[in-house]
Amino acid sequence: MNAPHPNAGPSSEKAGDRHLAVTHEVINQPPMLENYNLYEQDIALQEAVKREGAGKAENDLKTFGALAGDAATIDLGFRANNNKPVFNTHDRFGHRIDEVDFHPSYHELMRIAFENDLHSSPWKHPGKGAHVSRAAKYYLHSQVEAAHCCPVTMTFAAIPSIRKQPELAALWESRILANSYDARNLPDSQKSSVSIGMAMTEKQGGSDVRANSTLAYPTGKAGPGQAYELVGHKWFVSAPMCDAFLVLAQATGGLSCFLMPRWRPDGTKNPWQIQQLKNKMGNVANASSEVELRGALAWMIGEEGRGVPTIIEMVAMTRFDCMIGSSAGMRQAVAQATHHSRHRSAFGSRLIDQPLMQNVLADLALESEAALAYTMRVARALDNQDQEHERLFARLATPVGKYWICKRAPNHAYESMECIGGSGVMEDCIMPRLFRESPVNAIWEGSGNVQCLDTLRAIHKEPETLDAFFREAAQAKGTDYRFDQFLAQLQNDFADVSDLQYRARNLVDRLALAMQASLLLRNGDKAVADAFCASRLQSNGGMNYGNLPSGIDAAAIIKRATPIVG
């Protein structure tokens, strides 16, 4: 008989005369964060939903939260990203088809989004809590997979712009709002549900869309609602399989907005051709393309020469969705980091119980809670646009929030990844995807500087927007001396109008912080509000996450944020 293998412990097995050594037992690894209810395990979200007027959507959100946390739904997100869309120019007989082939998991995610009205509910059922409940659902769904949310958002956001041309709205609106998803590459006349994209950006100018060189030629009469043919190019067109696009092009009277379907009413292919798909660092489940318009038929929406004010209604909504999306990315990152730390031990105790890790986790949780509180407050403002304060508030809070929340996401994703250690860098973990996804919301729909300039533009055009913003923030006055000092200094700095553009980032940063602090102080958890004021409104010199000062109740902040799974 052979001598026992030196490494064979009590669990070594004997097969014939060979010893099969069991090399090791897998211990100290967390269970998968799946098969949990994303809504029920998110205290801050539940509070925000009730606070901002969507309490009646609770049951629906619970059902949706279970779907979003289901292992099968989470798996769709991984598959949609592991199988990039493929572009086919022609069919095998040589016909130009311009078809993008998506993995079935992408279509399944789109089906879930459309069947749950993520593209439509506030337009179908406006009123109290409509935008709030949709934002909450989008927040849950986007945590599963963010890239496919791009066409969901664009379809949702197109409605206010399309309504500016009532006869076109009559033709398209009911099919845009239908709660079904039809991925077939067919003329829209054969479809009962459609999706909408947008094509503004050209090579020579993205932020500066007035530099657009695409030309619009009337096919008969010119003007709003009339048919044109568009000739030019677009440098970025995401989700190119959408059924129609809102496009900017130069008409005789200046830059105008058009609705351009992918097919002509006679059932022939509208001559706009995809040149290639973009090779993106993130957002890969969603295709983005470069296209040429070779006399593509389109109808003018809104007044000739007023293309930017027409499409800006759509852009305002996409900017709002960027806020939801980045808040959702941060929430998912916190869920992953806290879940891991709760199950992983090092140096004799769980990571979540170790003081330095507590400082980092609580800091990450604060950022995520503040982003959510801000986003949901804006959602309530969107539900109440008939009230002047809410209208003024939303006008300023949208560029401020889009700038701030989206810009906070990339470093947050990276720090959350580091909480998980080496396994957080691996592609079978969602963290690399969250990280690669994180910059895009800050860049598209108006990059950071553009949002800051838009903030200044809003204040310049309508100074009441700043009054409304400060009025809203000041509701927390007297609850925290740090907040009072911060707000007073900020208001004071706005009195100085010299080199405003140069200082815009600093001012917008502080507007966002003041509003987040105000919302947390008034409505949030005490420990969260205290830590936010201590770390964001006062500087102790540190720059990275994990700089919360002593005396903060980090354990309470982490407890709120940690999903209990396993």
Instruction: Specify the residue, 311 or 527, whose C-beta has the smaller distance to ligand FAD.
Output: 311
Where do contacts with ligand FAD occur on this chain (CB under 6 A)?
A: 197-201, 205-208, 236-238, 280, 283, 288, 440, 443-450, 453
Which of 215, 456 has the CB closer to ligand FAD?
Answer: 456
Check if the beta carbon of residue 504 is closer than 8 Å to that of residue 453.
yes
CB of 266 to ligand FAD, least distance (A): 27
Amino acid letter, 146: A
Secondary structure (DSSP) of 262-319: SB-TTSSBPSEEEEEE---SS-TTS-EEEEEEEEEEEEEESSTT-HHHHHHHHHHHHH
Place of tokens 């959510």: 372
Give the CB-nearest residue to ligand FAD.
Answer: 206
Q: Which is nearer to ligand FAD, 33 or 246 (CB)?
A: 246
Q: Which residues pair with 230 in a beta bridge?
A: 216, 296
CB of 160 to ligand FAD, least distance (A): 17
Burial class (CB in 10 A: 0-12, 13-18, 19+), 43: middle
Three-state DSSP at 163 gives coil
Q: Minimal distance in Å, beta carbon 375 to ligand FAD? A: 20
- What's the min distance (Å) between Cβ of 212 and ligand FAD? 10
Is 535 within 8 Å of 549 (Cβ atoms)? yes
* Token duo for residue 387: 């009230």
Task: CB nearer to ligand FAD: give 115 or 208.
Answer: 208
State which residue, 306 or 407, has the beta carbon closest to ligand FAD. 407
A 10 A CB-CB count for 23 gives 6
Closest CA to 257 of 313, 317, 315, 310: 310
Nearer to ligand FAD, 237 or 255 (CB): 237
Least separation in angstroms between residue 300's CB and ligand FAD is 18
Distance CA 291, CA 234 (A): 5
- In the complex, minimum distance from the CB of residue 444 to ligand FAD, in angstroms, rounded to a whole number: 4
- Closest distance between ligand FAD and the C-beta of residue 81, in Å? 14
Handedness of CA 106, 111, 114, 116 (dihedral sign): negative
| Nearest CB to ligand FAD, comparing residues 151 and 187 | 151
CB 200, min distance to ligand FAD, A: 4
Report the distance separating Cα 279 and Cα 222, nearest Å: 38
Minimal distance, residue 177 CB to ligand FAD, in Å: 21
**74 versus 239: smaller Cβ distance to ligand FAD:** 239
> Please, which residue, 216 or 381, has the CB nearer to ligand FAD?
216
CB 41 to ligand FAD: min, Å: 30
Phi and psi at residue 226, to the nearest 5°: -85, 160
Cα–Cα–Cα angle for 130, 134, 140, rounded to 5 degrees: 155
Please say whether the beta carbons of 484 and 478 come within 8 A: yes
Nearer to ligand FAD, 128 or 505 (CB): 505
Label each residue of 123-148 as H, E or C: HHCCCCCHHHHHHHHHHHHHHHCCCC
